[in-house]
């Protein structure tokens, strides 16, 4: 009986943890390139199905780029956006209604990194 209870408790806790990591929705925030002097706005629109993430992202609602290679594993979120010559690779940790981490920005001739912070707004 005690083993059965423990099994149910572990299952419930595991299920609650999965629900807490739902990324579907609108995420708003900013990033700042290392050495930069200002924040760059971000609006990320995410749809999560299992461990796959799709949607779009950009600086605002009218300038959005498709999410590529989007995935979530526990609290670890990764995806890419391509804007012209730049590829933005997001590597984030989700905690309730916040995602924080870094972006690696790569072009043909340049590579930069930035810290990013997003808050779920819907």
What is the residue-averaged pLDDT of the chain? Answer: 87
Q: Which domains does the chain have, with CATH numbers?
A: 2-120 (2.40.128.120)
Report the Cα 47 to chain-centroid distance in Å: 11
| β-pair partners for 90 | 79, 103
Cα separation of 90 and 78, whole Å?
A: 5
What distances in angstroms separate CA 26 from CA 11, 59, 62, one per listed residue?
A: 29, 13, 14
Quick check: pTM over 0.85? no
Q: What is the pLDDT of residues 70-107, one digit of tens each?
A: 999 999 999 999 998 999 999 999 998 999 999 999 99
Check residues 20 and 63 and name the one with the higher pLDDT. 63
pLDDT of the residue at 21: 72
Around Cβ 25, how many Cβ atoms within 10 Å?
A: 15
pLDDT of the residue at 22: 87
């Amino acid at each position: 009986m005690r083993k059965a209870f423990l099994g149910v408790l572990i299952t419930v806790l595991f299920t609650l943890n999965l629900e807490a990591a739902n990324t579907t929705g609108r995420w708003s925030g900013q990033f700042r390139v290392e050495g930069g002097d200002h924040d760059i706005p971000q609006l990320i629109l995410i749809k999560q199905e299992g461990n796959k993430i799709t949607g779009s992202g950009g600086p605002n609602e009218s300038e959005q780029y498709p999410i590529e290679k989007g995935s979530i594993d526990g609290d670890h979120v990764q995806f890419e956006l391509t804007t012209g010559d730049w590829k933005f690779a997001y590597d984030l940790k989700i905690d309730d209604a916040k995602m924080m981490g870094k972006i690696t920005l790569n072009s043909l001739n340049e590579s930069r990194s930035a810290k990013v912070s997003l808050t779920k707004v819907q």
